[in-house]
Amino acid sequence: MGAIFQSLGRTVTAGVVLLLVMLGLVSALTGGVAVSAQHAWFAFLFRWFHVLSGVMWIGLLWYFNFVQIPSMPKIPDEQKPAVSKVIAPTALFWFRWAAIATMVTGLILAGMNGYLGQALSLQKGVHAIGIGMWLGLIMAGNVWMIIWPNQKKALGIVQVEPAEKAKAARMAMLASRFNTMLSIPMLYCMVAQQNGGL
């Protein structure tokens, strides 16, 4: 067991194996799981990928806002590079690519559900998910066009003058806070569509 959890790759593989064992058991007990080549099953599969990548994205957004940003002032200056040079760049890598994966799987899902255009034009019956999708798209744009370029300056990945570095750090923080605010109605809309919430 220890050998599995000492490696992230093996841990993730173990999660997938656990899922397959679980599906095998359910199949043996019930005489077959509902896995088929049907459109509905593929839409379900994309929904799963979508939620996995969405959890990675918003989990890291909340990590920045609930943990890292409030902790930085409490960390002695000589220890700060551990966060700014090691932890934050790794977290930002998974954060920005998870945003892309969530957006792509979400748009594919809407296409598979047959309402991409109707949702984006906020039509009746799909306005809940349409609002959620717009909020998600604004958030993804914010990640790539505001947060990431400013973080590159703030973390020293791109070299700039100290004054510009401080300005970029503040801008990245405010944009990240803006996304944290939007994540609350966005997630409400995501789950509202299927569950009569709006």
Instruction: List interacting residues with ligand HEM (CB under 6 A).
Output: 47, 50-51, 54-55, 57-58, 102-103, 106-107, 109-110, 113, 129, 133, 136-137, 140, 187, 190-191, 193-194
The long-range contacts involving 174-178, CB below 8 angstroms and separated by at least 24 positions, are 175/142, 175/146, 175/147, 175/150, 176/61, 176/64, 176/65, 176/69, 176/147, 177/65, 178/142
97's tokens:
């690519």
Question: Judged by CB, which is closer to ligand HEM: 133, or 168?
Answer: 133
- The minimum distance between CB 188 and ligand HEM, in angstroms, equals 10
- The minimum distance between CB 84 and ligand HEM, in angstroms, equals 26
- The minimum distance between CB 192 and ligand HEM, in angstroms, equals 9
Measured CA to CA in angstroms, residue 193 lies from 115, 135, 186 at distances of 12, 14, 11
Question: Judged by CB, which is closer to ligand HEM: 65, or 158?
Answer: 65
Question: Judged by CB, which is closer to ligand HEM: 136, or 154?
Answer: 136
125's tokens:
């019956």
- Under DSSP, the state recorded for 126 is S
**Given the structure tokens 């890291």, which residue do they identify?**
60
Exposure on the CB side of residue 133, measured as CA atoms within 13 A? 23
- The minimum distance between CB 27 and ligand HEM, in angstroms, equals 22
- The minimum distance between CB 65 and ligand HEM, in angstroms, equals 14
Question: Judged by CB, which is closer to ligand HEM: 168, or 190?
Answer: 190
Question: Judged by CB, which is closer to ligand HEM: 51, or 160?
Answer: 51
Q: Which amino acid is at 9?
A: G
